[in-house]
Amino acid sequence: MQAVILAAGESSRSWPLNYQHKSLIKMMGKPLIWYTIDGLQKAGIKEIIVVQNQKREVEKELKEYFPSIKYAIQKKPTGMGNAILEAESYLGKNFFILNAERVDCLEYITQILKKFREEKTASVLLASRTKTPWLFGILKIEENRVLEIVEKPRKGREPSNLKVVGIYLISKNIVPYLKKFQKRENSLEKSISFLAKKERIELLILKKELPPLKYPWHLFGIKNFLLEKYLSFGISDSAQIARSCQIEGKVFINVDCKIFENVVIKGPCYIGKNCIIGNNALIREKSVIEDDCIIGANAEIKNCIFQENVHCHSGYFGDSIFGRNCRVGAGIITANVRLDRQKVKSFVKGEKIETGLKRLGAIVGENTSFGINCSSMPGVLIGSNCFIGPKSLVKANIEDNIFFYAKFKEVKKKKI
């Protein structure tokens, strides 16, 4: 049994965290795709093929962890169907298809394999129930057999309330259909629908599902899942921790960290290698701080994800994500709750999206710098390589490579 992991897309809906493939976002010192591969191997899947883009970033990152993995290159991001065809020379009789950030795949793969052996079927699809079927690929079924996948059906014309979950066990007989439809949008779904006319495809309905990393705020759910499954308590012998520091709950502190006087750290929490936590800082539950970060004195970090080498001074960071190499001046406030206490909305590719979260701060790309006393409204997305001027209030998204300054009614915004 094989698995084909798809890691070649542009991850455009994950902006501003798509400065690299989204599966390379670090969580507790490892890229997300590491956890996906770990789950596959624990489920007994030993032969793994990763389809990556021409930058070969995934291969470079995984080489030290998994030297036996095979790789294929998708030259252009032309869809899942084409990506699978790039791995055709490796494919056996049956194979799994899944996205690279499916860190929860172990449980699902195990269930699929059980179904595969019991039913002696060639293909199995996962599905979960949804209240908004018009947003997804929806299954048309007969008893427990898949007949067709209808992509984003009109309201009131949905064949069911079962949406496709992005983990498939598929027969190699799908390859001719992939070749036929590879230039079409949703080529994989189209090919599965045609394959279903020729051979039986079994259905497995999940009771619960961890959302895939479609939008950047989905990273919080993935973080919480990994903290529960992988975090262990541990403090490195090389970490220098002041006696007055308070550590509560399950906390992991990696090598060569310096934790100064009166710091409070509440688990679950992960702190990476070579980090510095300044006096009186408060690191609250479910925060992940990657390697080489500096948290200044009197800062409060609540349910945040800091990628590598983020440096910040005092301020409040609530339910926020900062990409690698960001620099944040003193006095920042990332607002994370609406005044009316409604769920936070955010704009992605010009479309207002309901995040489903009542608490969401700022999500920031890499290499972005903030002056002193900046603040941001809930749910704003700020691009990479930006400069946010002192005392600026960020009320709406800021694209990559922008110098932004806003004070009272004066707003200046220009391309760098």
| Residues 347-356, mean pLDDT to the nearest whole number | 89
The predicted structure's pLDDT at residue 364 = 98
**How high is the mean pLDDT of the chain?**
91
Q: Which residues sit opposite 128 in a β-bridge?
A: 163
Here the tokens at position 8 are: 């070649």
Q: What is the pLDDT of residues 202-258, one digit of tens each?
A: 888 888 777 778 899 999 999 999 999 999 999 999 999 999 999 999 999 999 999
Q: What confidence tier does 346 reach under pLDDT thresholds 50, 70, 90?
A: very high
pLDDT at 396: 93
pLDDT value at position 76?
84
Please spell the DSSP secondary structure of 196-240, one letter per residue: HHHS-EEEEE-S--PPPSSSTTHHHHHHHHHHHHH---EE-TT-E
122 vs 65: CA distance, rounded Å = 31
Mean pLDDT (whole number) for 150-155: 86
> Where is average pLDDT lowest: 55-59, 99-103, 147-151?
147-151
Task: Please give the pLDDT value at position 327.
Answer: 98
Q: Encode burial over 88-106: b for 16+ CB neighbours within 10 A, e otherwise.
A: eebbeebbbbbbbbbbbbb
Given a cut of 70, whether residue 44 has pLDDT beyond it is: yes
Q: What are the φ/ψ torsions at residue 387 (nearest 5 degrees)?
A: -120, 120
Q: Give percent helix, percent strand, percent coil of the chain, each to the nearest 5.
A: 20, 35, 45
pLDDT at 414: 65
- Residue 60: the pLDDT is 92
Fold of 233-415: UDP N-Acetylglucosamine Acyltransferase; domain 1 (2.160.10)
Q: Give the pLDDT of residue 412.
A: 62
Domain span(s) for CATH 2.160.10.10 in the chain: 233-415
pLDDT for 173 equals: 92
Q: Between the CA of residue 289 and those of 82, 164, 201, 317, what are the distances in Å?
A: 37, 33, 43, 12
Who has greater pLDDT, 318 or 145? 318
Q: Where in the chain is the domain with CATH 3.90.550.10?
A: 2-205
The whole-angstrom separation of Cα 293 and Cα 309 is 5
Token look-up 């909305």 returns 345
Q: Which pLDDT band holds residue 409 (cuts at 50, 70, 90)?
A: low
What is the mean pLDDT of the segment spanning 27-31? 96
Q: What CA–CA distance (Å, rounded) separates 393 from 411?
A: 10
pLDDT tens track for 183-196: 777 888 899 989 98
Question: Helix crossing, 105-119 with 32-42: angle to 10°?
Answer: 30
Q: How confident is the model at residue 58 (pLDDT cuts 50, 70, 90)?
A: very high
Per the CB < 8 A criterion, the answer to whether 379 and 396 are in contact is: no
**pLDDT for residue 254:** 97
Residue 142 has pLDDT above 90, yes or no: no
pLDDT at 408 over 60: no
- The more confident residue out of 338 and 182 is 338
CATH T-level assignment (fold) for domain 2-205: Spore Coat Polysaccharide Biosynthesis Protein SpsA; Chain A (3.90.550)
Calpha distance 159→165 (Å, rounded): 16
pTM of the shown model: 0.91
Whether residue 37 contacts residue 341, with contact meaning beta carbons closer than 8 Å, is answered with: no
